[in-house]
A = this chain, B = another copy of it.
């Protein structure tokens, strides 16, 4: 089972302006082969399909707990995409959509992924930066523990490369913060899968990190997360379960040489998290509707009735 908490894993800065192509670039980290839907999908199905769960408890717990974190990553990138598509919050939703006959969205036919506006209304969808759908081709769940872990290690390294490149295309703080945070967390996951592989095979594969070969300290948006030690923490993302992964992450293992030093630790639960943006509606785009005032009134009454 899964529980949900109405927060993002971090606070995202407000976008400075609407930038649909920046949102489209960020989609690569959502629905691409090396995006968050892929890390989520791989670990989720691997954890469902995990064999001999008791006998392999620390390994099962590792994959199961990271799955929960990845759900929050999908959420984080999705929020970033929607924020970049929508621009800064405003009070626009307090009016109706006005006269729509003057082609108010003419510029939307020239954005890279026009369907993101025409169909998605500026929301995130599980597609990559070229508009291709995420799908089962991106999932490896063989039931063979070494192979699945090796796949995951390669997946996190690939995800790191993709995050770096997307970061290099972005000027808006919203998208850059998404990349900076995920680079740190993805490095934790790569490290964790490396340690799991080392425990089983004896190969010190964590020495292959970082791949690509750039220290995260070079990236301003990563720095604060390194400073607070995020790179040394794995969360259980659970009220009570998955603590057994401390046999892999922890147990005397320390931070990678390029990162601020310290011991690896498992943290019960989740990080403090940050606020979810409102995503003010745009009545002229029929979000939440053309004339939302009545809907807002109804919702206010229902809200009061719920308390």
Q: Is the CB of A55 within 8 A of B4?
A: no
Chain B residues contacting A50 (CB-CB under 8 Å) are 279
Q: Is the CB of A279 within 8 A of B51?
A: yes
Q: Is the CB of A48 within 8 A of B82?
A: yes
Query: How many subunits of this chain does the assembly comprise?
Result: 6
Chain B residues contacting A125 (CB-CB under 8 Å) are 45, 136, 139, 141
Q: Is the CB of B55 within 8 A of A171?
A: no
Q: Is the CB of A302 within 8 A of B211?
A: no
Q: Which of B145, B280, B304 contacts A295 (CB 8 A)?
A: B145
Known contacts A127-B136, A130-B131, A144-B161: does B6 contact A5 (CB below 8 Å)?
Answer: no
Known contacts A129-B118, A200-B295, A286-B161: does B238 contact A150 (CB below 8 Å)?
Answer: no
Q: Is the CB of B165 within 8 A of A143?
A: no
Q: Is the CB of A168 within 8 A of B100?
A: yes
Q: Is the CB of A121 within 8 A of B133?
A: no
Known contacts A49-B82, A118-B165, A121-B165: does B170 contact A251 (CB below 8 Å)?
Answer: no
Q: Which of B101, B132, B247, B292 contacts A302 (CB 8 A)?
A: B247
Q: Is the CB of A53 within 8 A of B276?
A: yes
Q: Is the CB of A247 within 8 A of B119?
A: no
**A-B CB contact pairs (8 Å), 15 listed:** A3-B68, A6-B238, A24-B109, A31-B136, A44-B74, A45-B126, A52-B93, A71-B71, A114-B130, A117-B169, A118-B162, A122-B143, A143-B286, A145-B295, A214-B286
Contacts A103-B169, A147-B161 known; 6 new A-B pairs at CB < 8 A: A1-B72, A28-B119, A34-B119, A108-B169, A199-B298, A200-B295
